[in-house]
Structure 1
Amino acid sequence: MTDVVERFMRYVQVDSASDPDNLEQTPSTERQHDMASVLAEDLRALGCQNVRADEHAYVTGTLGASAGAEGLPALVLCAHIDSSPDAPASGVRPHIVRYEGGALVSGIVDGEVIQTTPEQVPDLEKFVGEDIVCSDGSTLLSADDKAGVAEIMALLARLSANPELPHPAIVAAFVPDEEIGHGASLLKIEELGACGGYTVDGEALGEFNYECFSASEATVSVHGVMVHPGAAKDVMVNAITVASEFQQMIPAWERPEHTCGREGFFHPTDITGSASDVTLSYIIRDFDAAAFARRERTMRDVAAFLNARYGEGTVEVSIRPQYRNMAEKFGPDDQRLIDFALEANREVGIEPVVVPARGGTDGAQLTFRGLPCPNLATGGYNAHSVREFVPVRSLEVTVDMLERLVAKFAVAPASAGE
């Protein structure tokens, strides 16, 4: 195996799923400390300086600049260490499949063939005759984002072993709980000594994001009035009925299953309760700031309408901001982060495609906190699924692309007027 593949196969076997039911603690799971410890040890072995794994499972370390680039600003490369809780994520058993066309079979679980077809992922046709890393089908693979972690680490290993390769100081930053909306929020960016960087947390090779959804989470609490059903006429308010009405008043054509591209959505994610009380959970997404504000207002307007019908306080809506579209904060001084990424992809034979990320990255938080961080692809597919996979070549080419990319920052930018 090449270095990046060996690292990836090793990292995915470290359990590190986050827990959306434990948002008050960072990290949300103790097992993320296990992954943090592994990475801190690997960074030290590569000769990185100021290596730290803190009490919240944030890992940072700096590889010093190559000769002649010592005075230039550091560049951050960031990835997250947690695995998604959306699919089984413990006991990952990766293996390599030689793909010969047709369905890509990850494994057989309880008699069911776990497979991905070209109809589901048209890019599969590009990988005929190549090696692809899959799980055994009983868990996700955790390429999101341990592919990004492995690619960053493999780059650092290459630069450490070949000091003649040009690069500024590289700050590796690995963060917990990205999958549950926390991510880089506690990363101490003022201590990193950098003025920009990249997250490595995308999907298909060549995809590049410097725009993402703005996001919030809405909790809808419905309070019923319960009496004996035999004496309920004109008295009972059934919380289940009111909750159903609330959902039906959210535009059906603006759900995830009916949207794509730059279209935003309302997405109900969870429902609990009884006839007395019901709690609905939603995520709200949009690229446009005005449209995003309209969506949040729609939730409150629906609640107001139902309260006018059933009584004040029947429906309560609480909205928690998650992240904002990082494109709102990119200015002219950040253009080289974009240009260099596009150039580096082309230099390794990948035609880049700039796409708005229909999701969030740690880069959104970092950008709004003053550290602009667009998002690079990892090469993975089917994230958050037991059908997740990543081609071996994609892992390797991404490291080559990162090498070309960091070299561009080893040259001081031209001053105004040059």
Structure 2
Amino acid sequence: MNFNSLLNFTVTERFLRYVTIDTQSDPSSVSFPSTEKQKDLGRLLVDELLAIGVEDAHLDEFGYVYATIPGNTDKQVPVICFCSHMDTAPDCSGKNVKPIIHKNYQGQDIILPDDPAQVIRQAEHPDLKNQLGHDVITASGTTLLGADNKAGVAEIMDACYQLMNHPEIKHGTIRILFTPDEEVGHGVDHVDIAKLGAYACYTIDGESAGNMENETFSADGARLTIQGVSAHPGFAKGKMESAIKIAGEIIAALPDALSPEHTEGMQGFIHPVAVEGHVETAGIDFIIRDFDEKKLNDHANVIRRTAERVLQRYPASTYSLTVSQQYRNMKNVLDEHPQIVEYAMEAINRTGLTARLCSIRGGTDGSRLSFMGLPCPNIFAGEHAFHGKQEWVSVQDMQKAVETILHLCKIWEEKS
């Protein structure tokens, strides 16, 4: 089936509408969702789903959007789910986003008008080489765009629209899930897996068109607490051992080879993300990442050995390290269900793209969903340079993502 001649895409209009709604999540919040404004987008999505005939679309008290597209085939087809997150990253403002479409991109530098110092250059964004002739969407220079992950939201919404309007596309029951708080690590804390009742799920939250991701980091968090010795600074000689200075020395002594700025590909890292303290007590929060789960403990031991080496110069001071699990590599689960990834690869190829199986130097909602009993790889959404003012996505890549979702629905029906 040639979807190009069949579809009247709505993905661009939806995307331009969604990015103007501020849905930034807040890592310091203790509520769920972390910001109430995420529900503003959730309510709009429910209204739009109801308007196209998705009768059970609803927003629950936690800010999740659930919806079901009933199957239209006599076959017994496994229920599959499509998922994207509604929040944008805390790293950069998501308020008053002004999207701009740069039509027929021809390789030029893209200067963002509200801050001309923000220039999107092909040399710094090599994927732009694949966008010649495409229509590239950016923000105006003072905010992020929100393609991560409103591109995925818009793509799933357009796919819902197409499925409801084209009964000739045969498919089983399709579940839809839009989540809050993915960017602050809590995206699936309150997901009702039983309500979804799905065999497989696909997050639409990847980067380059054609990418299919079946592997994430395994991730731990760590808290290093340093107990120093406080003394009056006027009488501190030979007595004071400042926990703040000790913390700084420990951070400086960590090996560069295990820092994010010196790693790539399948290499893991140790990353101090926050420091707080006083002379007597200081704390360092770390994130520890590696594709090989067994290496997480090795990385934690690097922190321990570094702290012990520094503290040799501070005999009255001590430290403790607490490590907590965050998420695990979804490949461990997906390898037990190979058809979930294989069908997605075939769907991408049917759009005319070349499917590429990739690993993510990060995590997705799918990382945790996979270990909650819902195997969940990640399909491209076309988003690039996320979490910053130079974020961009192309219209044509978003349309290819819509086609991929539709082909995937069809493949599950064909092979059942």
- Cα 1:313/1:162, change in 2 over 3 Å: farther
Match of 1:41 in 2: 47
Q: What SS class does the counterpart of residue 283 from structure 1 fall into? A: strand
Where does residue 198 of structure 2 map in the other structure? 194
Aligned match for 1:215, one of 196, 212, 219: 219
**Counterpart Cα distance in 1 of 2:216 and 2:85:** 17
Distance of 1:320 and 1:104 partners within structure 2: 42
Alpha-carbon offset, residue 21 of structure 1? 0.7
Partner of 2:382: 379
Measure the CA separation in 1 of the matches of 2:333 and 2:413.
24
Q: Which residue of 1 aligns with 2:67?
A: 61
Question: Which of the residues 160, 167, 170 maps onto 1:163?
Answer: 167
Moved more, 11-20 or 227-236: 227-236
What corresponds to 2:182 in structure 1? 178
Structure 1 counterpart of 2:109, one-letter code: A
Residue 35 of structure 2 corresponds to which residue in structure 1? 29
- Equivalent residues of 2:246, 2:311 under 8 A apart: no
Deviation, structure 1 residue 127: 1.6
Aligned-pair distance for 1:107? Answer: 2.5
Correspondence for 2:256 among 232, 249, 252: 252
Measured after TM superposition, the shift of residue 208 of structure 1 is: 1.1
Cα offset for 1:355? 1.3
Q: TM-score, normalised by structure 1?
A: 0.93
> How far is the alpha carbon of 1:17 from its aligned partner?
0.5
Deviation at 1:43?
1.8
1:339 alignment partner in structure 2? 342
Q: Which residue of 1 aligns with 2:10?
A: 3
Give the corresponding residue for 1:329: 333
Equivalent position SS for 1:88: coil
2:101 aligned residue: 96
Where does residue 16 of structure 1 map in the other structure?
Answer: 23
Q: Gaps (5+ residues) in structure 2?
A: 1-7
Task: Give 1:416's aligned residue.
Answer: none
- Kindly provide the CA deviation profile for residues 200-255 of structure 1, in whole angstroms up to 9, marking residues without a partner as x: 01111111111100112222232332212342232101112210222133222110
Partner amino acid, structure 2, of 1:154: D
Asked whether the 8 Å contact 1:199–1:374 carries over to 2, the reply is yes
Q: Distance in 1 between matches of 2:137 and 2:194?
A: 37
**Cα pair 1:135 1:389 within 8 Å, conserved:** yes
Query: Which residue is equivalent to 1:406?
Result: 409
The answer (yes or no) to whether the contact 2:219–2:326 under 8 Å persists in 1 is yes
Say if 1:57 and 1:313 are closer, same or farther in 2 by CA, change over 3 A: farther
Which residue of structure 1 lines up, in the alignment, with residue 3 of structure 2?
Answer: none
TM-score scaled by structure 2? Answer: 0.93
Give the Cα–Cα distance (whole angstroms) in 2 for the partners of residues 354 and 383 of structure 1: 20
Find the aligned partners of 2:164 and 2:363 in 1 and give their Cα distance.
31
User: What percentage of residue pairs aligned between the two structures are identical?
Assistant: 36
Matches within 5 A, 1:302-381: 302-305=306-309, 310=314, 314-332=318-336, 334-381=337-384
Task: Verify the 8 A CA contact 1:345 1:352 in the aligned structure 2.
Answer: yes
CA contact (8 A) 1:254 1:265 kept: yes
Stretches of structure 1 lacking an aligned partner (at least 5 in a row): 414-418
Q: Is the 8 A contact 2:227 2:319 kept in 1?
A: yes
Aligned length: 408
Residue 41 of structure 1: CA displacement? Answer: 1.4
Separation in structure 2 between the aligned mates of residue 312 and residue 151 of structure 1, nearest angstrom: 58
- Letter matched to residue 397 of structure 2: S
Amino acid at match of 1:36: G
Report matched runs for 1:260-339 at 5 Å: 260-305=264-309, 310=314, 314-332=318-336, 334-339=337-342
CA drift of 1:309 comes to 5.4
Q: CA distance change for structure 1 residues 292 and 138 in 2, over 3 Å: closer, same or farther?
A: same
State the alpha-carbon separation in 1 of the partners of residues 307 and 57 from structure 2.
50
Change in CA separation of 1:34 and 1:312 when aligned onto 2, cut-off 3 Å: farther
Question: Offset of 1:312 from its aligned partner?
Answer: 7.4
Q: Distance in 2 between matches of 1:238 and 1:141?
A: 43
CA distance in 1, matches of 2:27, 2:46: 25
Deviation at 1:305, TM superposition (A): 4.9
SS of corresponding position for 1:260: coil
